[in-house]
């Protein structure tokens, strides 16, 4: 079985085209480097309580 490392949808599509059968590694932190996404990630990291963390995670979930 051939697996690929991928972090973005276009990388997965390319890997599938070349015969990959699955994802071996996905470094999700790379998905949040874009300016709009990193704000939500930082918001989650510095959250002062669980409620604030949950709100930030709700913003991140659709991006992942």
pLDDT digits (tens, 9 = 90+) for 44-61: 999 999 999 999 999 988
CA atoms within 13 A on the CB side of 15: 19
Mean pLDDT score of the chain? 87
Q: How many angstroms separate the CA atoms of 7 and 63, rounded?
A: 12
Domain boundaries, given as residue ranges, for the chain: 1-28, 33-64
Question: If pLDDT is split at 50, 70 and 90, which confidence band does 4 have?
Answer: confident
Token pair for 13: 């599509």
Token pair for 44: 């989650």
Q: How many angstroms separate the CA atoms of 9 and 7, rounded?
A: 7
Q: How many angstroms separate the CA atoms of 17 and 40, rounded?
A: 32
Q: What is the mean pLDDT of residues 26-54?
A: 86
Residue 14: pLDDT over 90: yes
């Amino acid at each position: 079985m051939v697996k690929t490392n991928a972090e973005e949808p276009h990388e997965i599509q390319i890997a599938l085209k070349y015969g990959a059968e699955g994802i071996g590694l996905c470094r999700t932190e790379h998905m949040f480097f874009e300016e709009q996404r990193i704000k939500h990630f930082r918001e989650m990291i510095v959250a002062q309580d669980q409620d604030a963390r949950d709100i930030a995670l709700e913003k991140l979930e659709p991006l992942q």
